Amino acid sequence: MREMTRRQALILGAVGAGSLVTGAVGLSQTGLPWDQRSGPIPSGGGADLLQPNVLSSSDGLLEVELEMGRAEVTLGDRTALMLTYNGTVPGPTLRLRPGDTLRVRLHNDIDEPTNLHVHGLHVSPEGNGDNPFLKIEPGETFDYEFTLPSDHPTGTFWYHPHHHGYVADQIFAGLYGAILVEDGPPADGERLLIVSDVSLTSDGNVRAASIRDRMMGREGEIVLVNGQVQPRIAATAGRRERWRVVNTCVSRHLRLDLAGMGALLLGVDVDRHEPRDPGDLILAPGNRAELLVTADAGTSEFRTLGYDRGGMGMGMMGGGGPFGNDGRAVVLATVEADGSGRTGFGDADDGGQAGAGDEGGAATSTLPEQTLLRDLRDAEPAARRTISFTMGMGMGAGMTFGFNGQEFDADRTDQDPAAGSVEEWTILNTTPMDHPFHLHVWPMQVVGANGSAVSEPYWRDVVQVPAGESRTMRIAFDTFTGRTVYHCHILDHEDAGMMGVVEASG
């Protein structure tokens, strides 16, 4: 019999014991012991936005050590005990170029098994590459090696743990960092904004998820940018900046409010296009956006607006309505723009953390290189597959999560494309909740929605599939063979079984 994961055991055990309570009890408090109740929300925002430490490749190679451990970090006016890479939240930023090799010596100094996923990179899933089936036990060290193809797309990517059953807990507690792939040196006026969320207990530990949190996908009570609470972004009015925004939240969707910032969208994930109006820009967990931002003079708020991602529906967990932040806007950062000549980049008082800046107020950042993936619409698919998100009631009172009615089984191959082929996958969401679909290794070109062709195909490695809808994508299984996974990027759902195995061979 297949071994039950720790997450599934926790869910079924708690539900069977009658600890699942809905209704008048607050969602974030359901089923938690008293020592796991939330502590006060940190205040004390307004510190200047810091950039993570950057580790850059040289002569085609980047060798780094990442030590996973518990460390005290400062969140506003509170001290928290979180999981970290090299003692910081987020971990260091890894800067690479197409064709580079990345070697990571990962030390696991936490008390749980783990591994490492390089989200969005087109690299081998086998051996010591981007292999989600590896298990690095507490106290162990493992040497990873990832070699990027010479034509690898440039852009913004990220890394995080991916050992099934522990993913959501470990990312929620602080284990994430950015990967930047560029053809040249950093652009002037570039900022990295890694958005995450967390909840703390009164003694500063990361709060455990309730049973309902695990069913719906948890959203933290504290929203961070680069590990800071509502930091201050000092800018110069009229100066164009390149912002890389990464959504590393376990479940929270970011609906970005860009009013007053003159923002233009350059692309999401590996998609690239000419600068355009971002419209209603929603980043599902795992998505990244690159923006050109020109702040107006004065003070404005960079916010995420409310996003309703659905509910469990009647008959599941006693009903339950919409989940998410219930329409509330959350301030991510405060932008202060003036004409004094301070750029916020490369100045002596901010450490030059984001690259060299131009003197004066109206300088513009360099447009990034446009890396375009080949259009797959004219390819004849070798196979057409339909994959459905499924949720339901299992034995007893337990919930089930999976695809096509099956929970994740690492020993089962669910999809078997031929290496070098192009396939067409239609992802159906018949559940009452939105689900973001993530495929490792190979990018997806979205060509259809709800049975009709989209007006302009786009590329993603995380595709949002709203409740009751479908998305159709073309995938070229090029360059690499091997076994990897696809899953819901509401990571509590992935840990509970909403993941499948894909193996490209031949």
pLDDT-derived band of residue 393, with 50, 70 and 90 as boundaries?
confident
367 pLDDT more than 80: no
Looking at per-residue pLDDT, the higher value among 20 and 45 belongs to 45
Q: What is the pLDDT of residues 51-102, one digit of tens each?
A: 999 999 999 999 999 999 999 999 999 999 999 999 999 999 999 999 999 9
pLDDT over 90, % of the chain: 74
The tokens describing 114, both together, are: 């783990």
Q: What is the predicted pLDDT for the residue at 172?
A: 98
Give the pLDDT confidence of 471-504 residue by residue, as tens digits.
Answer: 999 999 999 999 999 999 999 999 999 999 999 9
| Residue among 227, 215, 398 at smallest CA distance from 311 | 215
> 147 vs 340, which has greater pLDDT?
147
| Three-class DSSP labels, 191-232 | EEEEEEEECEECCCEECCCCHHHHHHCCCCCEEEECCEECCE
Alpha-carbon distance 403 to 428, whole Å? 10
List of domains in the chain = 383-504 (2.60.40.420)
List CB contacts of 224: < 8 A, sequence separation 6 or more: 75, 89, 195, 196, 197, 198
Quick check: 313 pLDDT over 70? Answer: no
Phi, psi angles (nearest 5°) of residue 58? -145, 130
- Output the pLDDT for position 39: 66
How far, in Å, are 144, 175, 206, 352 from residue 108 at the CA level? 13, 12, 19, 32
According to the model, what pLDDT value does residue 45 have?
76
- CB atoms closer than 10 angstroms to residue 298: 11
C-alpha 319, offset from chain centre: 28
Those residues whose C-beta lies under 8 Å from the C-beta of residue 448, and which sit 6 or more positions away, are 426, 454, 470, 471, 472, 473
What pLDDT, on a 0 to 100 scale, did the predictor assign at position 33?
A: 46
Which helix (H) or strand (E) segment is 10 a member of? helix 6-16
Give me the pLDDT at residue 383, please: 98
Specify burial of residue 107 (Cβ count, 10 A radius: 0-12, 13-18, 19+): middle
Across the range 243-254, mean pLDDT stands at 98
Q: What is the pLDDT of residue 184?
A: 75
Q: Collapse the DSSP code of 381 into the 3-class scheme (helix H, G, I; strand E, B; otherwise coil) and give the result.
A: coil
Is the pLDDT at 347 greater than 50, yes or no?
no
- Beta carbons of 15 and 398 less than 8 angstroms apart: yes
pLDDT at 349: 33
Q: Are 398 and 11 in contact (CB under 8 A)?
A: yes
Q: What is the mean pLDDT of residues 157-184?
A: 96
The CA radius of gyration of the chain, in Å to the nearest whole number, is 22
* Cis amide bond preceding 90, omega within 30: yes
The two tokens of residue 488 are 């819901």
Residue 349 DSSP SS3:
helix
* Per-residue model confidence (pLDDT) at position 41: 74
For position 447, what pLDDT does the model report? 98
Question: What is the per-residue pLDDT for 46?
Answer: 82
- Find out whether 150 and 125 touch, Cβ atoms under 8 Å: no
Average pLDDT in the chain: 86
Weakest-pLDDT range from 281-295, 325-339, 456-470: 325-339
Q: Give the pLDDT confidence score for residue 368 in this predicted structure.
A: 59
pLDDT confidence of residue 162: 98
In 276-350, DSSP assigns E strands to 282-283, 288-294, 298-305, 330-338
What's the N-to-C CA distance of the chain in angstroms?
30
